[in-house]
Every structure is written in C-alpha cells, then in structure tokens.
Amino acid sequence: MANLNTYLCKATLEHWAIPHFNVSNLEQLRAVVDAAAELKAPVMIGTSEHEREIFTPEAAAALVAAYEDKFAVPLFLNADHTHSVALAKAAIDAGYASIHIDLSKLPFGQNLKGTAETVRYARKRGRSVNVEGELGALPTDSSTVIKGKVKIDRSAFTSPEQALEFCHKTGIDRLAPAVGNYHGISVATKKELDFKLIAELRAKLRKNIALVLHGGSGSGDAAFKKAIASGIANIHISTELRIAFSAALRQTMKKLPNEVVPYKLTESARVAVKEKAKHFIRLFGAAGKA
C-alpha cells in the first residue's frame, strides 16, 4: 500500500484532496473507517493532544492499524496540532504515520528550529513518517461552534517567501498556512479563503510539499473546490463531524430516555458521522483513489 507522501503528491498533481477527519471516540473512528472503506478512499485520521490522552497514542495507532488491515484501505493516523517536540517524538514512537508539529505561535526562528528537530527525529525512525509544519497564525484554536465574531488579521497570513525558507530549512512534507481559515464555525464570521495566496504558495513551493487547509468546517462546498483547484491537497474537518455526532446523539437520547446500552444510544451518531465523512470524501475527489 502506498505511503502518505505518494498519495499527497498524486492529490497535488491531479487536483483532489485527502480528507483529514479528527476523531474523539471509537464510534467516530469506526464511522470514518467505514466511510473510507465503502468509498475506497485514502483518509487521514487525526487526534489532537487531548484526543490522544483519551485514546492513548499507542492504542490509537493499534486501532487504526487493525482497521487498515481488516478493511484494506489506506488510513493514515496523524498527531494533529502537536505543540511540543517532546509530544511529537512520543507520537512517532507510538507508531503514528504522520505528525503535525504546530509551533506557529512561537517566533519564526523557534518554530523553524523545533519543526526541523521533529523532521530529523522522524527520518531516523526507519519507516515513513510524514511531517507537517505550520506557518502563520490562525485566530482560533478550538473546533467548536463560535457564538461571536472571529477577527481575521491579514498580517498574520502566511508569506510565500517565508514559507519557501521554512520548508527548505525544515524539510517538512506538508505545510499548513494561514489563508483566511480558522478553527470552528462562527455564525457571525463567514470564512473567506484567500485563493490567490493559496495559488501563490503552491507556485512557490516544490510539488512534493503538500498544502494543508486547517479549519475546513463551514467553508462551503464551492470554497473547498476552489481551494483544491488553487493547490490544497489535504483538508481538515472536525467541527462538522462533532456537530453531526452530538445532534444525532441528543435526538436518540430524547427518544430513548430509559436506554442504558451505550451502543444503542450512539449508533445513530455513528451513522451520522459516516454520512458526513462520505460527503467530504466525494466532494474532495478522494473516492476511488485508494
């Protein structure tokens, strides 16, 4: 089975994107796996630092490996938004296929140094570990529904010239830029992606460095298609899965107030997440690419 870098390069050249779905529990994980298997699509499965605490890194790696073997579909486990080199190394040691080392809130030099150290450590592991760095500042951190407005600061967007230096000196496989995106969904602030900047970044960087869009939820189908056409090859979805899961779960608990069997309560939520994941797999053009 091809490694993640091979799929990302294909996605970049062929103008489709690998979906990245964050999961917080076994039901969400199984939903994403079932969607990928049904549509024969490569997908990335993300766990944030807190989500890794829930699963433990070793258990998450073992579960994803078992599902990949059982369903014969490419599943790439990513340590999403890892804010320290130590935790990045721990995820690598636990068996993660991908590391997102996010030191974007640090000064440029510190971000570059820590990201480069993570890349060097990954390369020494004797297996293919794909590493993503982040450059530029996103205005929100949490994948949730935001009640107020989100302030978009264009001065925090990623510079193509600085991105070129960052990628060259760190040796990363993927770059997550700030291009008008933000984590979560705000009813008061529409996401307006800078497609021109995405295209400029794509033109500036080597083709084997994939561009990643974080905070995808709520962007809208048309914006996703335009982002992919502009050069995005990997899109993160978390909030929309969480909304689908929690809405279905609340509805079931309202219908079955006396039910105590967990899997009976969560089945509709699992199905809701699966259908949402299938929508994005098709939308991003990843169906049939496994």
Catalytic residue numbers read 80
* Residue 259 to residue 268: CA distance in whole angstroms: 14
With beta carbons less than 8 A apart as the criterion, state whether 85 and 114 touch.
yes
DSSP classification of residue 278: H
The candidate with the shortest Cα–Cα distance to 181, out of 130, 239, 97, is 239
Is the alpha carbon torsion for 155, 142, 26, 88 positive or negative? positive
Taking every pair of Cα atoms in the chain, the longest distance, rounded to a whole number of angstroms, is 60
Residues 6+ apart with CB under 8 A from 90: 57
Residue 242 — φ and ψ, nearest 5°? -65, -40
Residue 22 — φ and ψ, nearest 5°? -80, 140
